[in-house]
């Protein structure tokens, strides 16, 4: 089914400088041989290397064992359709640009495909020049994005333990624990809601261990189909399955001497859980289709945002695997339970994103910080980081006001904040509280110029004065402009 055309290969994940000089490789997934052949001829003549698959599962197998620059995917595949396949491709190789091939008149599906992350689509019969231009544009865009991502990563990659910011008691205790467990080889399980910093903690453990100069390999075990995960983790021999044209090392081998970070372990399939347990028990495994036992020295750090004890009780997670992983358990508290970390984290991210954008260091206004303290942060530190990045990018003055914070933060602060502090507050109290906040915010933004604030509210200055006194709004002296 698949046909390999010579292409010099870079190891997965390697990037950038040599990209432009290397042959670009396209995977065509289409069930019609005629379409595949004409695309292959077109692309090969243009200097692309081409491989082909006639259905989704052959396509996924190829993707799991090879590196491609782009996928051309037929929307109307028999069995699993292109639309269903797209998220699986994205789960396997998130940055992979995918161009959908569609028949005329399937606009609805095209919209779904674009929402699901397709880079573009081409309608049959296609225009060769346009198709080539779209392919080159999609590959170019992905390379540029990857370079930015890589740059951001290098900027962020000070995975020293100190990169974890926090001063609340649970975070200080966590820092101590991380420092304590890092040097050992013990398996660590990190539990916490999404965005609480599980991956950052895993990296801190690795960076503070004697393995720091060896690889840290993250693998998302929750989103990869279990047959692919198996070959990704354990590797395979040539011919182990249809598309295994060459033997491939698994991530257990790649991580030899280092740390393997098994992310989202809580949603791993039962089948895969059994296989993983076996490897954790005797630290030996075999390639798929292999006969030789391999042994590696890998430290396992696993993370989950589902509570594994509950998953065990409900029969969704193997108890024996849970105990294997749960040798040392680190709990990452949600941000709403350690609000004293908010100002510190905000300052940390403001500094980072100000520097990254070449701006003078941004700071939050008093009101903006108060809004942040009132908010519950369901997306935890990641949500806070995104809010700070947004604030920096949108600000055109050193001070970031509440109106530059995402809407969901402000909505919450004006409506329910008082009720949370004083459950017996009346509607009248809540309205007064809101009025007080709005006035305080405006005054701060007018640099405490009450005349300007009164004009903004379209009320007489004397009325504003009365309100300020009645509501006990804090008033400061005007700073020099």
For residues 301 and 307, the answer to whether their CB atoms sit within 8 Å is no
Among 381, 400, 443, 464, binds ligand ATP (CB under 6 A): 381
Residue at shortest CB range from ligand ATP? 197
> Which residues 255-314 are close enough to bind ligand ATP by CB under 6 A?
305
Interface with ligand ATP includes 166 (CB under 6 A)?
Answer: yes
HSE of 440 in the Cβ direction (CA atoms, 13 Å)? 21
**Exposure of 86 by Cβ count < 10 A (0-12 exposed, 13-18 middle, 19+ buried)?**
buried
Listed in sequence order, the residues at least 6 apart from 351 whose beta carbon sits closer than 8 Å to its beta carbon are 361
CA-to-CA distance for 148 and 308, rounded, in angstroms?
36
Q: How far is CA 478 from CA 36, 230, 302, 447, in A?
A: 71, 65, 53, 6
Minimum CB separation of residue 299 from ligand ATP in Å reads: 18
- Cβ-based nearer residue to Mg ion, 93 or 132: 93
Minimum CB separation of residue 86 from ligand ATP in Å reads: 22
Among 32, 80, 112, 199, binds ligand ATP (CB under 6 A): 199
> Which residues 101-130 are close enough to bind ligand ATP by CB under 6 A?
none
What separation, in Å, do the N-terminal and C-terminal C-alpha atoms of the chain show? 72
State how far Cα 259 lies from the chain centre.
20
- Cβ-based nearer residue to ligand ATP, 232 or 305: 305
CA-to-CA distance for 461 and 438, rounded, in angstroms?
16
Interface with ligand ATP includes 220 (CB under 6 A)?
Answer: no
**DSSP string of 375-434, one letter each residue:** ---TTHHHHHHHHHHHHHHH-SSSEEPGGGS-HHHHHHHHHTHHHHH-TT--HHHHHHHH
Query: Phi first, then psi: what are they for 283, rounded to 5°?
Result: 55, 25
CA-to-CA distance for 431 and 436, rounded, in angstroms?
9
Among 196, 232, 243, 365, binds ligand ATP (CB under 6 A): 196
**Exposure of 255 by Cβ count < 10 A (0-12 exposed, 13-18 middle, 19+ buried)?**
buried
Residue 126 tokens, joined: 């296609």
Interface with ligand ATP includes 442 (CB under 6 A)?
Answer: no
Minimum CB separation of residue 203 from ligand ATP in Å reads: 8
Minimum CB separation of residue 163 from ligand ATP in Å reads: 6
From the list 21-29, 164-172, 456-464, 469-477, the region that binds ligand ATP by CB under 6 A is: 164-172
- Cβ-based nearer residue to ligand ATP, 219 or 439: 219
CA-to-CA distance for 446 and 464, rounded, in angstroms?
14
Q: Where does this chain bind Mg ion (CB under 5 A)?
A: 199
For residues 251 and 260, the answer to whether their CB atoms sit within 8 Å is yes
From the list 38-46, 122-130, 188-196, 323-331, the region that binds ligand ATP by CB under 6 A is: 188-196
- Cβ-based nearer residue to ligand ATP, 109 or 305: 305
Minimum CB separation of residue 382 from ligand ATP in Å reads: 4
Select from Mg ion, ligand ATP, none the partner in contact with residue 196, using the beta carbon and a kind-dependent cut-off of 5 to 8 Å. Answer: ligand ATP
From the list 23-31, 232-240, 380-388, 395-403, the region that binds ligand ATP by CB under 6 A is: 380-388
What x-and-dash track marks residues 345-364 binding ligand ATP by CB under 6 A?
---x----------------
CA-to-CA distance for 382 and 330, rounded, in angstroms?
19
Cis bond upstream, residue 138 (ω within 30): no
Among 195, 218, 250, 333, binds ligand ATP (CB under 6 A): 195
Element (H, E) at 435: helix 427-445
- Cβ-based nearer residue to ligand ATP, 65 or 220: 220
Select from ligand ATP, Mg ion, none the partner in contact with residue 386, using the beta carbon and a kind-dependent cut-off of 5 to 8 Å. Answer: none
Interface with ligand ATP includes 382 (CB under 6 A)?
Answer: yes
Total residues belonging to the chain? 481
Select from Mg ion, ligand ATP, none the partner in contact with residue 164, using the beta carbon and a kind-dependent cut-off of 5 to 8 Å. Answer: ligand ATP
Residue at shortest CB range from Mg ion? 199
Would you put residue 137 in left (φ > 0), alpha (ψ -120 to 50) or beta?
alpha
Minimum CB separation of residue 36 from ligand ATP in Å reads: 37
- Cβ-based nearer residue to ligand ATP, 53 or 200: 200
Q: Helix (H, G, I), strand (E, B), or coil: what is residue 128?
A: helix
Element (H, E) at 54: none
Interface with ligand ATP includes 194 (CB under 6 A)?
Answer: yes
CA-to-CA distance for 296 and 311, rounded, in angstroms?
29
Interface with ligand ATP includes 325 (CB under 6 A)?
Answer: no
Among 56, 59, 82, 197, binds ligand ATP (CB under 6 A): 197
Minimum CB separation of residue 94 from Mg ion in Å reads: 13
Select from Mg ion, ligand ATP, none the partner in contact with residue 258, using the beta carbon and a kind-dependent cut-off of 5 to 8 Å. Answer: none
Residues that bind ligand ATP (CB under 6 A): 164-166, 192, 194-200, 305, 348, 381-382, 385
């Amino acid at each position: 089914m698949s046909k390999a055309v010579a292409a010099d290969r870079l190891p997965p994940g390697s990037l950038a400088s040599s990209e432009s000089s290397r042959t670009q490789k396209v995977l065509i997934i289409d069930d019609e041989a005629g379409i595949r052949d004409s695309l292959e001829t077109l692309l090969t003549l243009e200097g692309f290397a081409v491989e082909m698959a006639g259905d989704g599962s052959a396509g996924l197998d190829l993707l799991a064992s090879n590196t491609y620059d782009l996928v051309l995917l037929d929307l109307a595949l028999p069995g699993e359709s292109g639309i269903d396949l797209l998220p699986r491709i994205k789960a396997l190789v998130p940055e992979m640009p995918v161009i959908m091939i569609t028949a005329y008149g399937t606009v609805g599906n095209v919209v779904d495909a674009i929402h699901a992350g397709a880079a573009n689509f081409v309608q049959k019969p296609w225009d060769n020049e346009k198709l080539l231009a779209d392919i080159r544009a999609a590959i170019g865009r992905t390379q540029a994005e990857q370079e930015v991502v890589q740059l951001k990563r290098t900027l962020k990659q000070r995975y020293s333990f100190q990169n974890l910011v926090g001063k609340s008691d649970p975070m200080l205790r966590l820092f101590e624990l991380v420092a304590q467990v890092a040097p050992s080889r013990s398996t660590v399980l990190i539990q916490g809601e999404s965005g609480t910093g599980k991956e950052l903690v895993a990296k801190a453990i690795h960076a503070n261990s004697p393995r720091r100069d060896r690889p840290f390999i993250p693998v998302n075990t929750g989103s990869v189909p279990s047959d692919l995960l198996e070959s990704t983790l354990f590797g395979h021999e040539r011919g182990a399955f249809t598309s295994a044209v060459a033997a491939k090392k698994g991530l257990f081998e790649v991580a030899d001497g280092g740390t393997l970070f098994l992310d989202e372990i809580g949603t791993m399939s039962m089948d895969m859980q059994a296989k993983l347990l076996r490897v954790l028990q005797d630290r030996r495994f075999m390639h798929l289709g292999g006969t030789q036992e391999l042994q590696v020295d890998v430290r396992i750090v696993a993370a989950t945002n589902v509570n594994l004890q509950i998953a065990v009780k409900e029969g969704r997670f193997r108890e024996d695997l849970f105990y294997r992983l749960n040798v040392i358990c680190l709990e990452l508290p949600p941000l709403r339970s350690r609000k004293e970390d908010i100002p510190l984290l905000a300052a940390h991210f403001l500094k980072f994103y100000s520097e990254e954008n070449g701006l003078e260091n941004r700071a939050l206004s008093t009101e903006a910080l108060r809004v942040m303290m009132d908010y519950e942060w369901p997306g935890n530190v990641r949500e806070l980081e995104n809010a700070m990045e947004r604030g920096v990018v949108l600000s055109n003055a050193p001070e970031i006001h509440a109106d530059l914070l995402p809407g969901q933060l402000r909505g919450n602060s004006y409506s329910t904040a008082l009720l949370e502090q004083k459950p017996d507050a009346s509607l009248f109290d809540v309205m007064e509280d809101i009025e007080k906040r709005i006035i305080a915010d405006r005054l701060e933004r007018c640099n405490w110029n009450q005349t300007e604030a009164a004009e903004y509210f379209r009320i007489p200055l004397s009325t504003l004065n009365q309100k300020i006194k009645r509501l006990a709004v804090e008033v400061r002296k005007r700073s020099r402009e």
